[in-house]
Structure 1
């Protein structure tokens, strides 16, 4: 039952982050200026221990909104948005730190991302060998 409640909370955060900015948006009349010149970029990032998201209950979840300005519950929202813009939203392209020294202890950490990046639906999952490897690989994006 606890696992179901955690997933419900994670999906609730996802819905709030993705649909929240859309509430109250009116359809523009023909010839009217759009209310925003930015494609939506609202993400919910989760992390938990386990081999995959199905086996790992989310231990922590944050929101990250990158347009028009960086905001959300992510502790380093501006840095994380800058890193994501630098790789055009490609989470696999986030570079590992060359100077990171991590142990080989296997304590898998899974991260997930759900939401919208520059108007395109995002669903991402990746498992790292341990927390140190996760922090080194993803810079500020998954450091929460």
Structure 2
């Protein structure tokens, strides 16, 4: 018996691999320093240091980063601007986001763990 039919039979038992439907490339710029990472959700992965928390936060707002504001932080009025960018897909729908915040504290208050790289 040739090995090819056996491999075909085994392959039929293994579920097909699908690329994640929810993934983002995230960027944070502090002055001249830029940090980039990727985040995948469903399943959780990528190089984001807090991927599980970021995916949970995004899931709560259906992948709309604009809706992430926690409103739970007391930030100083320090001016140390931070620019953030995100592009990708959430459950198959294209998403993008770009904003500038007056300092890192405000950024975290407005975007939760998503840009906390």
Larger Rg: 2
Instruction: Give the aligned partner of residue 25 of structure 2.
Output: 44
Gaps of 5+ in 2: 1-14
Could you give the per-residue CA deviations for residues 121-140 of structure 1, whole angstroms, max 9, x where no partner exists? Answer: 12210111111111122111
Hey, what's the Cα distance between the residues in 2 that align with 1:88 and 1:79?
A: 14
Query: Which structure is higher in strand share?
Result: 2
Residue 82 of structure 1 aligns to a residue whose secondary structure is helix
- Residues 38/85 of structure 1: CA separation in 2 closer, same or farther (3 Å cut): farther
TM-score normalised by the chain length of structure 2: 0.77
**Residue 132 (1) aligns with residue 113 (2):** no
RMSD, aligned CA: 2.1
Q: Which runs of 4+ in 1 moved over 4 A?
A: 36-39
- Normalising by structure 1, we get a TM-score of 0.64
Deviations along 1:51-97, one digit per CA (max 9) or x if unpaired, are: xxxxxx66101110002x10010011111101101111111110224
Q: Does 1:96 align with 2:96?
A: no
- How many residues are matched? 103
Corresponding residue number in structure 1 for 2:90: 117
Deviation at 1:36, TM superposition (A): 5.7
Alpha-carbon separation, structure 1, partners of 2:109 and 2:49? 17
